[in-house]
Chains A and B, each alone.
Chain A
Amino acid sequence: MLDYLISIMLTAGIYAIFALGLNLQWGYSGLLNFGHVAFMAIGAYATVLLGMNGVPLIFAVLAGMVLAGACGAFLGVATLRLREDYLAIVTIGFSEIIRFLLLNWSSLTRGSFGLYGYPRPLEGLVAHEDYNIVLAGIVIIVLLLVYALLEVLAKSPWGRVLKSVRDDEAVSISLGKNAFSYKVQALALGSAIAALSGSLLAFYLQYINPNNFQPIETFYAWIMVIMGGSGSNRGTIVGAILLWGFFSTTRFLEGYISFSPSASSAARMVIIGVILIGLMMFRPQGLFGRKEDLAVGK
């Protein structure tokens, strides 16, 4: 039972970090990133591959973040001068390109066989059966650090400019702010945070393969952000806990219901869908969102 709780804590924590990156982009900057999982994959693979080649893990993680941040910035520079929906199209394409690249670049990634047996942090120092507890501790510390960083930034003048770009870019520009640059910055920082969650996911799973990074993962992050309330970091974390709590408890109940595995996973998504529709009808701002944030028009 404890193992079970710890595994929920690990996945919820890792996905909370992942979704916080998206909340920075969507909740604070209004950027439609539909390929967020690509940056998680970049972080996971960069960390694992560098780690296997003897790079100290802390640098391997940082390298993944820098690489993902650079990719995010590149996508932003390429598309953000166009209408905002172009970013959505390009990012979803990018995430599939990354996945297929990982699948087919076998000499580097071993393709669909995936990678395993790579080094994990503090591995020599902890007994194998206690490892997940230690890792959960690391995940929670990282989550709190990311949360604190984003809260400080969101309430800072930098965050103020981001919100103004989200609300009405022309106003920011008329007041001397380089709106384009801020959007690129938000995209890069959010992508780097996604990469960080990818490194932690790799440490937890002990085995990664490209199919861990399907587009649906991106939309899990969207569900967490929307459920918690776009623009609320706390809400995003609660959204992650609720979604993974739901996934895990329903998996627990599976033993008592005679559904086939595929039917029960479909049923789970149906229930999530119904909950989301209900939420949008009765509390469209999300659990922690503010009603004023729904103001439409300019």
Chain B
Amino acid sequence: MENEILRIEGAIKRFGGLLAVDGCSLSVQEGTIVGLIGPNGAGKSTLFDLISGFVRPDAGSIIFSGKQIGGLPAYRIARLGLVRTFQIPRALMRMTVLENMMLGSQNQTGEMIFRPILSWGRVQAQERSIEKKAEEILKFFDLLRMKDEYAGSMSGGQKKMLEMARALMADPRLLLLDEPFSGVNPALSERLIERIKMLREKGLTIMIIEHAIPYVLALSDELYVLNKGAILANGRPDQVISDPKVFEAYLGVGFDAQH
């Protein structure tokens, strides 16, 4: 396929006796939003951990824009433009919202020790432009008025938004969102949907894990259903959701879900 940005083939991850991801294969086209759903314990978050390098796959290949990334350290994968967020919001509590944002920017000269002193002028100029960019993105997420507050003082939903905003500071090509709507109130969620669509318009590729099916249906160009660590179904969201196999997985697995 011409514009494939991510390809996973036969990915396997074992935790002791548990096969969390069991021969999972999928493909993501550039500029699309791909939803990933499945019952609890299906391995969705583990799959994100594999893609982002937080967990090493036991087998299989993960190819991001033509480059094999399986087994690379997570920070290197992030530098390639594949950035993730977390299911439980991880705001840097003891840093301000603005500091959280500015951390996300890539290739900062001042992040090398002593460069803030040796290249004072250049680092200051970079800081100003990073701050400007951070303020623009905060505005996009309606968080600008909180920029000088500590991230620890934000609500759960605001932390989720901050996390997404911070990830965007890294100029990702592929963004992995792990339950972006959890803890976000319905009114805010509607706005968040519009914003995620706007990001796709700008050419960003997004993978979303989400339990709230209506939001996934509203956003996804393609939907994957994960069950017991393997892909159960995939295709156009409306087709996938009416697939009897999917229905069964959701209702049937409810009782013996691992989590």
Contact = CB atoms under 8 A, between A and B. Distances in A.
Contact of A163 (B54, B73, B75, B94): B94
B84 interface: yes
Interface string B50-88: 001010000000000000000001111011000111101
A174 B95 contact: no
B115 interface: yes
State which size class the interface on B falls in: 35 or more
Of A153, A156, A163, most B-chain CB atoms within 10 Å: A156
A173 B90 contact: no
Interface in A163-185: 163-164, 166-168, 170-179, 185
Contacts of A172: 75, 103
Interface string B89-107: 0101111000100111010
B78 A173 contact: yes
Nearest to A296: B93
A298 B146 CA distance: 19
Nearest to A186: B113
Chain A binding site: helix, strand, loop or mixed by DSSP? helix
A298 B152 CA distance: 9
Contacts of A175: 78, 83, 103-104, 166-167, 169-170
A168 B90 contact: yes
B93 A157 contact: no
A122 interface: no
A149 interface: yes
B102 A160 contact: yes
Contacts of B30: none
A175 B126 CA distance: 18
Contact of B52 (A156, A174, A178, A297): A174
Interface size on A, as a range, is 20 to 34
Nearest to A179: B75
Interface string B112-140: 11111100000100110000000000000
B90 A170 contact: yes
Most buried by A among B83, B102, B116, B117: B116
A295 B94 contact: yes
Question: Which of A170, A174, A177: most chain B Cβ within 10 A?
Answer: A174
Interface of A: 149, 152-153, 156-158, 160-161, 163-164, 166-168, 170-179, 185, 189, 292-293, 295, 297-298
15 contacts: A153-B113, A157-B108, A157-B110, A160-B102, A163-B92, A163-B94, A163-B99, A164-B92, A167-B92, A167-B93, A174-B167, A175-B166, A176-B83, A177-B75, A295-B152
Given A166-B94, A297-B93, 18 more contacts: A157-B109, A157-B110, A158-B115, A160-B95, A164-B95, A174-B74, A175-B78, A175-B167, A176-B75, A176-B76, A176-B79, A176-B83, A177-B111, A292-B153, A293-B94, A295-B93, A295-B94, A298-B88
